[in-house]
Amino acid sequence: MSDGALVVDNIGLLITNDPSLGHGPLGQLDDASVVIEDDTVVAVGPAGAVADVRIDAEGACVLPGFVDSHTHLVFAGDRAEEFTARMAGQPYDGGGIRVTTDATRSASTTTLDRLVQARLGEAHRAGTTTIEIKSGYGLNIDDEARTLEIASAHSDETTFLGAHLVPTEYQSRVDEYVDLVCGPMLERAAPHARWIDAFCEVGAFDVDQCRAVLEAGRAAGLGLRLHGNQLGVSGGVRLAVECGCASVDHCTYLDDADIDALAGSDTVATFLPAADFSTRQQYPDARRVLDAGVTVAIASNCNPGSSYTTSISFCLALAVREMGMTIDEAVYAATAGGASALRRHDVGRLSIGAKGHLVILDAPTHHHLAYRPGVPLIRQTIGPLARYNI
Ligand code: NIG
């Protein structure tokens, strides 16, 4: 083994997500080891492999690091008062996005960057190793470009979300704002983004406006994703499928036609159960979606309005308890499913050639992630966000 190789040894249960390596859809192995060299898995096999550095998992469960394919990490301020009012009966309508936009525009770049780094440290400690970061709290040319530039310093998975909400200064000129997003704002944002996204919802942007945003993004070379069907059957899911989006996110309200459309497509349905928790929406029926053969992801949606958490374990427990997913399905959705939502094959699995990004649990099986909700079961995370763990 060459210099710098690391072995995680004495793994009681290893989840590889590669059925060719072990039993079941999660490719499970008992008494295993994983060898990592240059950030890449070079061997998966029985316990006892040798390398320069050894981490003893002491019989615990090891799984791929979580792939959090939906966050809005670049923001200032919080909306605890809005949450408190919601818990007293106020509905969520997304209007608070403007409150966070004001706070974010007023914050210095240094402050925003420091806040993002702190949130990445939190995500690392919660087991996340790949994280997507959206803009969407700038909503003007300079602040969308600025927040994306901050995001792109920390992640390759960055998303331009100028079409998050119409900002106050454009409230009676929605079409003008959409033209701005599709033109000069996109031009400044695109160099810092891999993806484009839009919020397709009553009160945000309608199907035609979102289509225009997605097509402009495609023409600028960006991959497509969409917020759809969060607060009602918005037409977002079908638009996402029509446009070939990598993922449509939320999917809280789905009718039969939505599920049929997803089933005949490559678009991943990404569920954000912590948002349904925090906004007191119903939970989506993930069982129906899975049974239709749709690829499913689970993500945190970390943002100050609808889902102020970086804990994928929390999301996973909700998905199992409230959405009809088995624990195996939920763990797969939060790892390999997230990778599919980002069209990545190098993360979300622990097979040879994949990134050596993994989580060592303080538990003998991955089932404990749902069985012991709220308990910090992430003993150690090995992945690129370790540098934020200060
Ligand atoms: O994905 N729904 C739109 N965007 C975020 C919420 C943003 C906010 O309320 O600040 C979401 O839930």
Torsion, CA 64, CA 65, CA 68, CA 69, rounded to 10: -50
The verdict on pTM exceeding 0.95 is yes
Q: Mark whether 305 and 256 lie in a shared domain.
A: yes
- Distance CA(72)–CA(305), nearest Å, equals 10
pLDDT at residue 124, rounded to an integer: 98
Q: Which value, in Å, is the radius of gyration of the alpha carbons in the chain?
A: 20
Q: Mark whether 97 and 175 lie in a shared domain.
A: yes
For residues 148-156, give the mean pLDDT: 98
pLDDT at residue 3, rounded to an integer: 58
Amino acid identity for residue 266 in this structure? D
Number of domains, the chain: 2
Q: Is the pLDDT at 363 greater than 50, yes or no?
A: yes
Which conformational region is residue 212 in: left (phi greater than 0), alpha (psi within -120 to 50 degrees), or beta? Answer: alpha
Q: Mark whether 331 and 360 lie in a shared domain.
A: no
First to last CA, the chain: 31
Q: Is the pLDDT at 2 greater than 70, yes or no?
A: no
Query: Is any atom of ligand 1 closer than 6 Å to the C-beta of 305?
Result: yes
Q: Let me know if residue 232 belongs to a domain.
A: yes
Q: Is the pLDDT at 267 greater than 70, yes or no?
A: yes
Domain that holds residue 276: 66-341
Q: Mark whether 320 and 270 lie in a shared domain.
A: yes
Q: Mark whether 168 and 301 lie in a shared domain.
A: yes
CATH number for the domain spanning 379: value is: 2.30.40.10
More confident residue, 41 or 3: 41
Å from CA of 40 to ligand 1 middle:
34
SS3 state of residue 183: helix
CATH number for the domain spanning 326: value is: 3.20.20.140
Query: Is any atom of ligand 1 closer than 6 Å to the C-beta of 251?
Result: no
Query: Is any atom of ligand 1 closer than 6 Å to the C-beta of 104?
Result: no
pLDDT at residue 390, rounded to an integer: 82
- 300-335 per-position pLDDT tens digit: 999 999 999 999 999 999 999 999 999 999 999 999
Q: Let me know if residue 1 belongs to a domain.
A: no
pLDDT band, very low/low/confident/very high, at 191 (cuts 50, 70, 90): very high
Q: Mark whether 199 and 298 lie in a shared domain.
A: yes
Q: Tokens 């079961």 — which residue? A: 377
Nearest CA to ligand 1 atom 6: 306
Q: In percent, how much of the chain has pLDDT > 70?
A: 99
- Longest CA pairwise span in the chain (Å): 67
Q: Let me know if residue 116 belongs to a domain.
A: yes
**The ligand 1 atom nearest the CA atom of 279:** 12
Q: Mark whether 353 and 212 lie in a shared domain.
A: no
Q: Mark whether 54 and 203 lie in a shared domain.
A: no
Q: Mark whether 32 and 120 lie in a shared domain.
A: no
Nearest CA to ligand 1 atom 1: 301
Q: Is the pLDDT at 141 greater than 80, yes or no?
A: yes
Q: Mark whether 45 and 94 lie in a shared domain.
A: no
| List of residues 6+ apart from 104 with CB closer than 8 A | 74, 75, 76, 77, 112, 137, 138, 143, 147
Question: For the chain, what is the mean pLDDT?
Answer: 97
97 phi, psi to nearest 5 deg: -55, -35
pLDDT at residue 35, rounded to an integer: 98
Q: Mark whether 140 and 248 lie in a shared domain.
A: yes
Q: Mark whether 100 and 190 lie in a shared domain.
A: yes
